Amino acid sequence: MIALPDRNLMSAEAYLVWEPTQEGRYEYWDGDIVAMSGGTRYHNRVSGNFFRLLDDALVDGLCEVYVVDIKVQVEPGKKYFFPMWW
């Protein structure tokens, strides 16, 4: 039998204080902290084009469109993500 390492879980409240102080970006998954990778030049172009189209389509609505670096709460106290366009 293989012993699994102890997981050091973080509370959502602690994550929300800790994450903005970091150089990189980290998501929160039910107590686990997950490092996010950077994007490529192609990824940046696709994201920009998609942003423009979506922002133009929603200009008169209540929704706001962002490209990067906006943390989204999916489940209160459980999941916080930085959405990515693949």
Per-residue pLDDT tens digits for 60-85: 888 888 877 788 888 888 888 887 65
**Which two structure tokens, joined as six digits, stand for 69?**
């670096």
Is residue 1 included in any domain, yes or no?
no
| Nearest in space to 75 (alpha carbons), one of 16, 32, 30 | 30
Is residue 7 included in any domain, yes or no?
no
Is residue 40 included in any domain, yes or no?
yes
Is residue 86 included in any domain, yes or no?
no
Band (1; pLDDT cuts 50, 70, 90): low
Give the structural domain span for 19: 12-81
Is residue 25 included in any domain, yes or no?
yes
The count of structural domains within the chain is 1
Is residue 48 included in any domain, yes or no?
yes
pLDDT at residue 36 greater than cutoff 90: no
Band (4; pLDDT cuts 50, 70, 90): low
Is residue 2 included in any domain, yes or no?
no
- With b for 16 or more beta-carbon neighbours within 10 A and e for fewer, the 5-35 pattern comes to eeeeebebeebeeebeeeeeebbbeeeebee
